[in-house]
Amino acid sequence: MKFSRYNIDPIIKDNIEAQGFKKPTDIQFKSIPHILNGEDVLAIAQTGTGKTAAFAIPILHLVIANRKRTKGTKALILAPTHELALQTTKAFLTFAQGTAVRVVCVYGGVSQDEQIAQLQAGADVIIATPGRMFDLISQGAINLNELEILVLDEADHMLDLGFIKDINDLIKKLPSKRQTLFFSATIDREIKKLAYSMVNRPIRIQISPSNTVAKNVSHGVAFIEMDHKRFFLESFIKKYPAAKLLIFVRTKVRAERVKNALDRVEIESATLHGDMEQNEREDISNQFREGTLKILITTDLSARGVDIPNVDFVVNYDLPESSEIYVHRVGRTGRAAHKGTAISFCSPEERELLDYIQENLATKIETLSIDNDTYLETLNLELEAKNDWKSLIKANEVALAQKRKGKFKNQRKNK
């Protein structure tokens, strides 16, 4: 089915076509009709599946159709991070261009004065992070008495950030007669409990098996000593100087350490983490999106909602703590119809973590091999679309053993 056949506002259709979209993705195909029909939806969908458009397109149509009936904010979309809120706002504004729908984004880390002014001018759709939204509600700057649609986007991450009590408090203040859309990358007992406390006889949609890496992403793991990771990263970057790399680390301290290591070998990079001002984070994200910045080092928290096109490689400098996070990370490359590659550096200390990730992952992580002669100098990576991992990362232990053996011989000679 093509978008042109949907019963949605003609202006929205024109905007969809202008973006080059002809047919809906799976999540869009399965969600849009139910949302247009006013039904509650519980959708389990990974990042990169087109879920934002899956709710943005029908919500905009419903707002346009009902706008003359009542005034006030009709739709509220809650997002866990600033980046995702801004990304969602961009999608809404793109599809709403030429309509009279007013979209306002509210998030923390910046002055609230401009946001309050926009709200006072009128907002049909509000896209918000929970913290700033609750602040503005307490100040009387947001009135949700006429709300008709509530969306929780990336609900699993919202719970991880500790927003569950605030969300439950919010529900009590909303009109009981409303449409609720619940989107999450994962589903567990706590997610189910929250979801079914909010929705009414929902349509459940699950797009792909849990913890599945997209078919167009090649992904493998290299076994590297912790202290040697920076050398392999340097070598890899120099092998692919024009590539756009997204590098994941565990903490903001680690992010700065990796950047300092790259600075020492005159490789330009930038970090993205929670200690940075919001304006700085937006500027760095835009540079990376536009390609003026090729190497971005980030934590998982900051990367949520960062939708960057044409990321050539994802590098897990530190292994994530779960298979869900692994899928989210590697999903930053290979977006839409493009192919992508993800490589994880695994130290001996992380082997147990790797086993845990692999055990809960629906796809196999290929083991890469290191050329012994070029260990600590150059990664012999031949990453092709056919997933040919031959001659990749081998004999790490042999190289280290030879190095220790040579050191031992020198010590004996000196005695």
Angle (deg, nearest 10), helices 82-96 and 10-18: 110
Give residue 76's Cα distance to chain centre.
20
Entry pTM: 0.64
Non-local (6+) Cβ contacts of 289 within 8 A are 308, 309
Angle (deg, nearest 10), helices 113-121 and 130-138: 70
pLDDT value of residue 282: 83
Contact 368, 344 (CB under 8 A): no
pLDDT tens profile 215-229: 788 999 999 889 889
pLDDT value of residue 209: 54
Q: Distance between terminal CA atoms of the chain? A: 80
**194: part of which helix (H) or strand (E)?**
helix 189-198
pLDDT value of residue 45: 79
Residue 346's DSSP bridge partners are: 223
Contact 37, 179 (CB under 8 A): no
Tokens 């918000």 found at = 128
Q: Which domains does the chain have, with CATH numbers?
A: 3-206 (3.40.50.300), 217-401 (3.40.50.300)
Rg (CA), the chain: 24
Tokens 């970057």 found at = 237
Cα torsion 245, 250, 252, 253: sign: negative
Taking the C-alpha atoms of residue 43 and residue 410, their distance in angstroms, rounded to an integer, is 63
Tokens 């602040």 found at = 135
Contact 181, 27 (CB under 8 A): no
pLDDT value of residue 67: 75
pLDDT value of residue 382: 39
How many helices (H) does the chain have, and how many strands (E)? 16, 14
Tokens 């406390």 found at = 197
Tokens 């346009």 found at = 64
Q: Which residues of the chain have pLDDT under 50?
A: 376, 378-399
Question: How many residues are recorded in the chain?
Answer: 415
pLDDT value of residue 388: 40
